[in-house]
Structure 1
Amino acid sequence: MHHARFLLHALPFYSLRVTTLAVVLALSACGGDDDGDDDSNAGNGGEAAYVIPAPPAGLGKVDTAPLPDAPAFVDFAATNQRGDPRYATLDSNAGVRVLGGFLDIWEPRTRLVDAGVTAAGADGFPGIIASDWTGIPGDATDGRVKNQAVHEENIDFVVRTTASRTAEQAKAAYLDDRRGKNYSVTDGLGPLTAAWRTAAQQTTSINDVAPDAATVKYDDTGNNTGVSGAANPAFGDAIAFVQSMGDNASTEPSKRFYKYARPWRWSASVQVVPELEPAKSSSPATDGGYPSGHTAESVRNAIAMAYLVPERFQELVARGVELGESRIIAGMHSPLDVMSGRILGQASATGNIFAASEGTRAVAYAQARQTLMAAVGASTPEAFLAFAHSKDLSEDRFADHDANKAEYRRRLTFSFTQIGDTGKPAVVPKGAEVILETRLPYLNNDQRRVVLKTTALPSGYPILDDAEGFGRMNLFAAADGYGAFNGDVDVTMNASLGGFNALDVWRNDISGAGKLTKSGTGTLAMAGANTYSGGTVIASGSLRADSDKALGTGAVYISAGVLVLNAKEAVQVQGSYTQTSAGTLEAHVGDDEAGQMAVSSDAALAGQLNIAFRPGYTATAGSTITVLRATKVHGKFDGITVKGFKATPIYNADSVQVRLDAAG
C-alpha cells in the first residue's frame, strides 16, 4: 500500500480517540505523493517512511499550590480588632500579623495594639494600658529603626515624589484624599463608569479642588458606594457585596500596633498638598501611618468590583493601587504605608469574598452583569466585553494594557531594593483563588491557586514576604493566566457559557517544562513570548496563537479542534507539528508573514486548512501564499478553503503554499 507512508509510533495509552485519529492520519492523510502533479507534490516523491510522533508527554503531573503553614487570615479575620485585649498582639490579631514583615524594618514602642487604647482585661487576657508613644519621631517615646537604609529609602521616596509632582497629580491626590474611596475607584470601569454610578445611585460632592485652604478631610456629603439592599432592587445586592469588604477590615489595629509616624512628621522636606494641610491630624499619638487606610479600602473595594465586573478586572485593580500611590503624592503616606495597605486590602477582600456563600456571590455577580449589560445595550457577553473596552486613551485612561501592567507592577514594590532571600518559593493564601473565580471561570480552584503562585512577585522585598503570600500577589498578572507551566495544564472551556468561557486571552510570558492541553468548545488565545517546553495539544475547541512565540518551545499536536494563526508574524513551532484528520489549521494571512507557521522540525499534515485575511490585507487572484515552512513536510491537508477564491495547494519538500485563483 504505497499511500501508507506514515508509521504510527508505539504510543502509550493516550485515548482511543486520539489513537484512532493517528491511525487515520498514518493510513490516509499523505496519499497521492506519487501521482505526478508537480504543483501539489514537488519534493515529496520517494521519501522514507515517517514515524508520526506521539502526542507530547509533558511532565505527567500537575502543579499545586498547597496551603501555607501559617494561620490563615480568612479563618481569623474577626480578630482584626482594637480595644479588645484578646487581640492585642502580633500572634492574636490577624490584621497585625499579616503586616509583620515591618518588624524587620522598625521596632514599635511596644508590641501591642495600644496607641491611644485602654481596655479592661477579659477571658484571662491582661488589660491594655495606653502606650506613652507620642507619635513624634526622635523623642524619648519613639520606636527604633532596625533597617536604616530601608527607612531612609522610604521617607526619601516621599520627599522626591512631593517635590516633583505636577499640578495635575496634586489635584488627583486631593480628590482621592477627600472624596469617597469607592467613588474614586469606579474610574477604573472606564466606559462602564457612568452605568455603574447610575445603577448604584452613587454620589459625591467633591469634583474639584476647594478654592481655599479652609477645607477639612472627610467632608464628602455623597454616599461613597451607593445604595444597597431593598432600597435599590436592581443593583442593591451588588452594592451590598462591595460594602461587605469592610467587614473586619480596619487598619486601625495595625496603625496602633506598629506606631510608625507619617512621612511629613519624619521629614520637613515632605510637601503635603497645600489644600490638604487642614487635614493633617493634630493627634500624632493616634495617627500612625502604617498601614494606609485609604489604600486598604481602595484595594479591597477594587477587588470586589473586579469580581463583579471581570471584563474590567485589571483596570479596576490598577485603579486600586493607583489610589494608594496618590497618598504618597499627597505627602500623607510613605511607600511602605501604601504597600502594607495593599496587603491588608487584599487579605480583607479575600476573607470577605471567601466568607460569602456561593449563592451570595452568584446573586451579586448576576445582578451586576444583568443591570450593566442592559444599561449599555449589550445583548451578549461578547458585546459587553467589547463595550467595556470600546474607548481609547482620550476617554479611558486605563485603555493601554501594557502601560497598566507596568505601572501596577511598579506600584507593588515602588522599586525598593530587595533585602531578603530572592529565591523563596511563592505561597498562596488560603481562599485567594476565589478572587479569580469570575475572571478565570473555566479553571478550577486548584488551577487558580497555581496561577496566583506562578504570577507572584519575586521574594526579598521589604515587608512583602508574609507567611501567607498576600504581599507577593500580583493580581494584574494573574488575570493574564499562568506565569509558568511547572506541571501539565489542561484547560477546558465551555463556549455555551459565554464570556471568558467562550474566549479568553493569556498575555503572560509562560515558562516551565509542562504541557498545555486545550479541551472543550471555547477559544484560548496565547499572546505572550512563551518558553514552556512540554508541548501543546489541541484536543478540542480552538487555540489561537496571537504572538509568534505563543506555542512555547515544544511539539504541537492537533488531535482535534483548531489551531488559529493570528500573529502579526510567522508563528514558531520549535518542535514537530502534527495535525490529524480531525484537526484544523486556520491561518489569518496578512503582511510580513502574518498567518504563516515556521516549524523547526517535521510537519505531518492532514485535516483541514482554512485561510482568512487580516483586516487591511487585500488578496489577489493569481497570487501565491506561503502557509507553512518546515524541515520536512509529510502528507497533505484533506481540504483547503479560502473565502472568495479557488485554492490550489502546492506541497514542497519543506513548505506548503496555496495559489489563489478566481472563484468559479
Structure 2
Amino acid sequence: MPVHRTPRFFSPHAFALAVAVSFLVAACGGSGVSDNAPPATVAKVPSPPADPGFVDSAPVQANVLAFVDNAATNQRGDARYATMSTNAGVRVLNGFRSLWQPLTDLVDAGVTAPAVGSFPAITASTWTGLPNDGTPNGTALNPTVLNANIQYVVGATTQRTAAQASAAYFDDRRGKGYSVTDGMGPLTTAWRTAAQQTTSITTIPADATTTLYNDSGNNTGVGGSANAQFGAVVDLVNAMGTNGSTEPAKRFYKYERPYRWSSSVVVVPALVPAESTTPATDGGFPSGHAAEAMRDALAMAYVVPERYQEMLSRGLELGENRIFAGMHSPLDVMGGRILAEAVVAANLSDPTNATLKQTAVSLAHATLYAATGTTAATFPAFAESGTTATDRFADYATNKANYLRRLTYGFTPIAATTSAPVVPKGAEVLLETRLPYLSADQRRVVLKTTELASGYPLLDDAEGWGRLNLFAAADGYGQFSGNVSVTMDASQGGFNAADTWRNDIGGSGKLTFAGTGTLTLAGTNSYSGGTEVQGGTLAAASPQAFGAGDVYASGGTVVIRTGTRMSINGQYTQLKNATLELDRGAGDTGRLAVAGLTTFVGGTLHVKFAAGAAPKVGDIVPLIDSAQLQGRFDSVVVDGFKVTPLYNSGGVSVRIDG
C-alpha cells in the first residue's frame, strides 16, 4: 500500500495544492509517517455551525384561486360555456393567454374579432374551428412563439425515424394507462399482471393507413373487489382522472392541431384515420393524451416511488410522441403536463381519497414484493436493476436531460427570468411518498428550490404549476436557506430508511441530520451554512457533498463513500458518540481532506476496503489530511485487519499490523 507523504503546510491559499500533493502516493513502507500523537484531550471543542435563526418556507399565494380548491369546476359537460372565471381547468392554463387570445375572450370583452391573417403565414382557410365558417378563432399575441411552435412539429414529423413513428402510433392508439406502465422497467410485467391490464394494439396492421383501430383492452386494468391483490391500486390510478377533462380548455382556447395550421406537418400515415373530421370539437391545446398519460404516470409514481423519476419521464415521453405523431405541438403537450399535475395534486389532496391512497401504496408493494421475490430491503435495488438494453429509462443522466428538455422544448424565455419562485397550493402532495421523511412544508420548499426559472412561454401560470420540475424535486433540495432539519426513521422502510439527493445544493443555510436512516448527498454542493450530524448516517458520494462549511458530528455516522476523494472546506469536529466511516477504494478514493481544524473528541474511525484495494501487512495507509489536528478517536476499526493508528499534525494514517 502506498505511503502517505505528509504535507508540510496547509495555509488557506495553498490548501487546494496541499490536498493534491497529499493524495500522491509512493512505494510501500513506513518512512515519512510520524506517530507523535497530539494530546488525547482537546483544549477547546469547536462549536457546531451557527444557527441561521430561521426556516425557509414557500407560502401559498394570496388572492389566487387555487386549483386544488376548485377542481370540481372543471367538468367535461361545462366545455361549451367554460370561461376563465368559471372553470379551474381553463384558469390553470392562463399562461397561454400571453401567446394567443381566443375568440371567446374577445367576444366576452366586446372586442371585434381579429382580422384574417393576424397569425403570420397562416390564412383563415387553414383555420376552421368554431364557428366553423372560416372566421378566425383568436389572434396571435406572440406570433414568433406560435410560429416556432408549429415549425417544431414540422421538423419533428419530417425527420422522425421509423421507431419514433411506431412509438407514436402505439401511444396514440393504446390506452394511456397501459402504455405508460413500461416506465416501470423491471417491474412492468409484474405490474401489468397484477393489474390484469390488457391491450388489443400489439402491432401496426398493414391497413392502418386506411382503417382506424381502437384499443379494446382495459387500459389501467381491473379495479375494485374483482382484483383483490391490486384492485385498490387500479382504483387510485383511475381516481386521478377525476375533474381532469381537457375539453373545457380545448373549447375555450380554440387553438388548432398542428396539421391544420400547416400542411408541412406530416401526420404518421397509420394515424391519418384518427384525424377528426369535426375541427370545431377537436382543439389542439391542451393535449388530452399528454394530460392523461401524465396523470397515470404520476399516480403510478406515487404508488411506487422507487420508479418515481422513470415514471414521470415516461409520462413526458408519451407527450413528445404526440408531437412525432403530428397530432400535437409542444405547447399542447406542455399544457397537458400542467393540467395533469394540478389534477393529480387535487385528487391526492382530496380527503375522500386518503384511505385509498394509503391502501394502494401498501398493496402495491406487498404484491410486487411477492411477484419479484424481493423484500422491503431488496425491492428498491430490484426496481432499478434494469439496463439500457432492457429498460430505456435505466440511464439517470439521459432521463434528467430529456425531462428538462421536455419541460420547455427549447423555447427561450419571453419575460423576466428573475421572478420569485411560486409553489401552487397542494403541490407538495406530489412528493408525499417520494420524500416521506420531510414535512409538507419542507416538500413545498423542495419544489420552490428546484423549479424552473420564470419567463418561459406558457409556464408562468398564476399558481406556478408550469414551473414545477418534479424530476429535480425527487432529488431533494436545490438550495438550503436557513435551518434545514431532516430526521429519517429507518424502521419505516423505503425512503425513510435510505435515500440519495443528487441535486447541486447551493444557498447559505445549514443542514442538520438526525434519526436512524441513511441520506447520501451526491451533488456538487456549495451551501455554506455547515452540516451537523446528530444521528443516522449522512454519506458523501461526491468530493463537495458537504458544501463549503464546517461539518460537526455529535452523533450518528459520517460516511465517505468509495469512489470519492472528499474535501471538507471548513472544520471537521467529531464527538464521542459519533463515527467517521471511510470506504477506501482504488487509489486515494475514500480519503478525507479537511481544510480547517480537525478535532476528535473520541468517537470511532471505521475503515472499509473495497474489493481489490486491500493493503498488505506493514503498509501505512493515509486516511485523513488536515491543516491542523487535535485529539484522538476512542477506537479505530479497520475491517479485516489489526492496525495501529498514527497521528501527526497533518492527519491520521493506520499501519497494517496483521
Aligned positions of 1:406-555 closer than 5 A: 406-555=401-550
User: Which of 362, 366, 369 is equivalent to 1:370?
Assistant: 366
> Unaligned stretches of 5+ in structure 1?
1-36, 115-131
Q: Secondary structure, in 3 states, of the residue corresponding to 2:44?
A: strand
616-625 or 303-312, larger mean C-alpha shift: 616-625
For 1:169 and 1:177, locate their aligned partners in 2 and report how far apart those are by CA, in whole Å.
12
Could you tell me which residue of structure 1 aligns to residue 269 of structure 2? 274
User: Which of 140, 143, 150 is equivalent to 2:145?
Assistant: 150
Within the alignment, does 1:338 sit opposite 2:333 as a pair?
yes
User: Which of 88, 91, 100 is equivalent to 2:85?
Assistant: 91
Could you tell me which residue of structure 2 aligns to residue 55 of structure 1? 48
Aligned positions of 1:58-457 closer than 5 A: 58-69=51-62, 70-84=64-78, 88-111=82-105, 134=129, 139-214=134-209, 219-355=214-350, 356-378=352-374, 380-457=375-452
**How far is 1:554 from its partner?**
0.4
> Unaligned stretches of 5+ in structure 2?
1-29, 109-126
* Higher RCO (CA-CA < 8 Å; seq separation 6+): 2
**How far is 1:112 from its partner?**
8.9
Q: In structure 2, do the counterparts of structure 1 residues 466 and 217 end up closer, same or farther at CA, with 3 Å as the change threshold? A: farther
Within the alignment, does 1:648 sit opposite 2:644 as a pair?
yes
Could you tell me which residue of structure 2 aligns to residue 5 of structure 1? none
134-143 or 164-173, larger mean C-alpha shift: 134-143
User: Which of 563, 576, 591 is equivalent to 1:596?
Assistant: 591
Q: In structure 2, do the counterparts of structure 1 residues 615 and 212 end up closer, same or farther at CA, with 3 Å as the change threshold? A: farther
Could you tell me which residue of structure 1 aligns to residue 609 of structure 2? 613
Q: 2:71 is aligned with what amino acid?
A: A
**How far is 1:324 from its partner?**
0.4
Q: Secondary structure, in 3 states, of the residue corresponding to 1:246?
A: coil
User: Which of 598, 621, 626 is equivalent to 1:625?
Assistant: 621
**How far is 1:325 from its partner?**
0.4
Could you tell me which residue of structure 2 aligns to residue 4 of structure 1? none
2:79 touches 2:251 (CA, 8 Å); kept in 1?
no
Q: In structure 2, do the counterparts of structure 1 residues 170 and 300 end up closer, same or farther at CA, with 3 Å as the change threshold? A: same
TM-score (norm 1): 0.88
1:113 touches 1:256 (CA, 8 Å); kept in 2?
no
For 2:81 and 2:241, locate their aligned partners in 1 and report how far apart those are by CA, in whole Å.
18
Aligned residue-pair number: 608
1:542 touches 1:564 (CA, 8 Å); kept in 2?
yes
For 1:45 and 1:319, locate their aligned partners in 2 and report how far apart those are by CA, in whole Å.
57
Q: In structure 2, do the counterparts of structure 1 residues 440 and 652 end up closer, same or farther at CA, with 3 Å as the change threshold? A: same
**How far is 1:630 from its partner?**
1.1
Q: 2:638 is aligned with what amino acid?
A: V
1:220-270 C-alpha deviation (Å, 9 max, x unpaired)? 010000000011111111100000111110000000000001111111111
For 1:66 and 1:112, locate their aligned partners in 2 and report how far apart those are by CA, in whole Å.
34
Q: Secondary structure, in 3 states, of the residue corresponding to 2:378?
A: helix
User: Which of 636, 641, 652 is equivalent to 2:632?
Assistant: 636
1:86 touches 1:92 (CA, 8 Å); kept in 2?
no
For 2:492 and 2:41, locate their aligned partners in 1 and report how far apart those are by CA, in whole Å.
47
Q: In structure 2, do the counterparts of structure 1 residues 236 and 45 end up closer, same or farther at CA, with 3 Å as the change threshold? A: closer
Q: 1:628 is aligned with what amino acid?
A: I
Q: 2:95 is aligned with what amino acid?
A: G
Q: 2:393 is aligned with what amino acid?
A: F
For 1:611 and 1:311, locate their aligned partners in 2 and report how far apart those are by CA, in whole Å.
30
Give the share of equivalent positions with the same residue, in percent. 55
1:135 touches 1:261 (CA, 8 Å); kept in 2?
no
**How far is 1:381 from its partner?**
1.4
Q: 1:607 is aligned with what amino acid?
A: G
For 2:636 and 2:40, locate their aligned partners in 1 and report how far apart those are by CA, in whole Å.
24
1:75-132 C-alpha deviation (Å, 9 max, x unpaired)? 1001112444996211211000000111110111213999xxxxxxxxxxxxxxxxx9
Could you tell me which residue of structure 2 aligns to residue 119 of structure 1? none
1:58 touches 1:535 (CA, 8 Å); kept in 2?
no
**How far is 1:597 from its partner?**
0.9
Q: 2:316 is aligned with what amino acid?
A: V
TM-score (norm 2): 0.89
Could you tell me which residue of structure 2 aligns to residue 122 of structure 1? none
Q: Secondary structure, in 3 states, of the residue corresponding to 1:111?
A: helix
